[in-house]
Structure 1
Amino acid sequence: MKPKITVFTPSYNRAKLLPRVYESLCRQSFKDFEWLIVDDGSTDDTKAVVEQWGDAPFPIRYVYKPNGGKHTAINRGVQEAEGEYFVILDSDDWITDITLERILAVWDTVPEKSRFAEVVGLFVYPSGELVGNRFPKDVFDSDPAEIQTIHKVWGDKFGCHRTEVLREFPFPEDLGKFVTENLVWYRIARKYKTRFVNEVWAYKEFQPGGLTANFLKIRLHSSAATLTYYSEAVALALEKGYPLGVVLRNSINYVRFALHARKPIGEQLRQLKAPLFWGLALLPALGLYLNDLRQPQEGRIPRRVT
């Protein structure tokens, strides 16, 4: 019998952190889930650590693949998943004892599930401090693009997707080793809604060598994915009639990273498809570009990761 939920953990050289994830799963009040670990080419003892949990009170599946980036691990996890719902639980995160139970309880309140992609709750730091800010209401239906750009919600959040939706929207694997999750979340937002709830579901502990801490460096080294994301964010903002400031902000970031990538102006205009905003973005983007050149690229966690 297939489990209701697949809890998915992508891991790259995080063997020391996995026991904390495992312990939080052992404490779950809801038991009908599997833990799927996709090892993205680790060189540490991840496999040995996982194998010691052969008597776990829930099914554990370990899948090894060559290193390709977190987004490729997510794609593999979605392909392998047996659960109706898919929870991404990173190796440096852990969940409350009732998180899976609460996730399903919230799904039960969603009308017309076929119109919704996910339900999303809150992260806190180990200290109990909220990561980012809260949603506008305790129960709020929106989508990831609107919640960030219109309602000014920021900071990492913890969610649960319908697995079939993630199969419908795989991450592109031809854009380099880093693809921001927002690229796919925004694509999903064109078709599906999200139910946001002001409940704490997980704990977040950023790692010094993680994706968030190396925000700028990773985006500079993944220019194809970065430019695709910002060009699509501009298109989505125009399509949905978001305030012009939202369009301009994404245009500025597009031009900023296009300058880093030495992308010719003609190619920029063809990809961005918003020549007016390209022109308005040029000077502020140049300022950000020059500032980037003066800044260290590692160890800085931005206030907003978008």
Structure 2
Amino acid sequence: MSPSNQSPRITVLTPTFNRVQLLSRIHQSLVAQTGRDFEWIVVDDGSTDGTGVLVQAWAAESPFPIRYVWQENAGKHVAVNRGVQLARGELLLILDSDDWLVPNALARVGYWWGSIPEAQRDEFAGVAGLCAFPSGEVVGTRFPKDVLDSNSIEVRVRYRVQGDKCEVWRTDVLRQHPFPEDLGSFVTEGLVWNRIARRYGLRFVNEVWMVKEYQPHGLSARSLELRVGSPQAAKVYYKEFAETPDMGIPFTRRLREYANFTRFSLHGQIPLAQQAIEVRFKGLWAAATPIGFLLYLRDRLKLGGQRRRR
């Protein structure tokens, strides 16, 4: 189906790499949506499994616009940046290849975004709902209120909300905050979400919009391996969190983040003297350094054991 001249309300963006066997679930969940005011962009990060043939076949007969883009393998964060630039929707939802949406998800996204008074929307980066496992159990914890206006940092630190959530972002805000592409092959989404939180809020609602089925060899399962493989990105993430102005981040949480900064700086072979120059709160960093060193040693033992078992 060729895209209409009218821009859709929502862009669903799927970055994917050799996941052709999982994409049908996403497609079926989009076909089942109760509303049609959306487009689907698939950014293929160098797949060799026939992903393009399948997606383009769907696009030829789709009741909603589908666009397929292939790029040389560069990492999910680069694929997301490319999709954001191509997006025509006011809002953008990143839907990974092992996830899918409940039938009314996009309609509810539109409803809750519309519930924010137009005069206040410049203060919000978007809306967020819950994720669930295929069993129906909510991933992590619910929000403390059925409707909560907060931000990505405060909701984790002050309200102690845990687990993946279904964030839907203003496309223009994502364009203002692209993923860094010079920090390695893996950049955690939290780096960008935290940067956005320093300026914008989100409306969080206790509704399940997304179903997640974590794969045995997916990004979540390989979190440590990926962070160690891109230590520059990891250390930037933890340093920025430790040095976030105010937002109610307690001393103990800043200490933990600095420990992780040291941990991944050591993985990146950055000496302590250089680390001391980089950090803002030098006393707090110094207190956290022994913990970071122990975490670094534990990582090496754990990853070394995994390599020996392969």
Determine if contact 2:40/2:65 at 8 Å carries over to the other structure.
yes
Match of 2:63 among 46, 57, 61: 57
1:302 aligns with none
Determine if contact 1:217/1:298 at 8 Å carries over to the other structure.
no
**Aligned: 1:224 with 2:229:** no
1:275 aligns with 282
Please, which runs of 5 or more residues in structure 2 have no aligned partner? 1-5
User: Percent identity between the aligned chains?
Assistant: 49
Determine if contact 1:216/1:298 at 8 Å carries over to the other structure.
no
Match of 2:131 among 102, 123, 134: 123
Within 2, Cα distance between the matches of 1:202 and 1:33?
Answer: 16
Q: CA separation of 1:247/1:12 partners in 2, compared to 1, >3 Å: closer, same or farther?
A: same
1:35 aligns with 40
The correspondence of residues 170-209 of structure 1 with structure 2, limited to 5 A, is 170-209=178-217
Please report how far the alpha carbon of residue 286 of structure 1 lies from its aligned counterpart in structure 2 after TM superposition.
2.0
Please report how far the alpha carbon of residue 149 of structure 1 lies from its aligned counterpart in structure 2 after TM superposition.
1.8
**Aligned: 1:98 with 2:104:** yes
Query: Over aligned residue pairs, what C-alpha RMSD do you find?
Result: 1.4
Cα-to-partner distance string for 1:70-128 (whole Å, 9 max, x where unaligned): 11111100100011111111110000000000001111111311100020001111111
Determine if contact 1:3/1:32 at 8 Å carries over to the other structure.
yes
**Aligned: 1:293 with 2:303:** no
**Aligned: 1:47 with 2:55:** no
Please report how far the alpha carbon of residue 4 of structure 1 lies from its aligned counterpart in structure 2 after TM superposition.
1.2
Within 2, Cα distance between the matches of 1:3 and 1:156?
Answer: 26
Letter in 2 for 1:38: V
Cα-to-partner distance string for 1:200-250 (whole Å, 9 max, x where unaligned): 0110001122111001000001011011111111111x4434211111111
Please report how far the alpha carbon of residue 292 of structure 1 lies from its aligned counterpart in structure 2 after TM superposition.
1.7
Match of 1:108 among 114, 117, 132: 114
Within 1, Cα distance between the matches of 2:277 and 2:151?
Answer: 28
Letter in 1 for 2:87: A
**Aligned: 1:284 with 2:262:** no
1:20 aligns with 25
Determine if contact 1:216/1:297 at 8 Å carries over to the other structure.
no
Equivalent residue of 1:212, what SS? coil
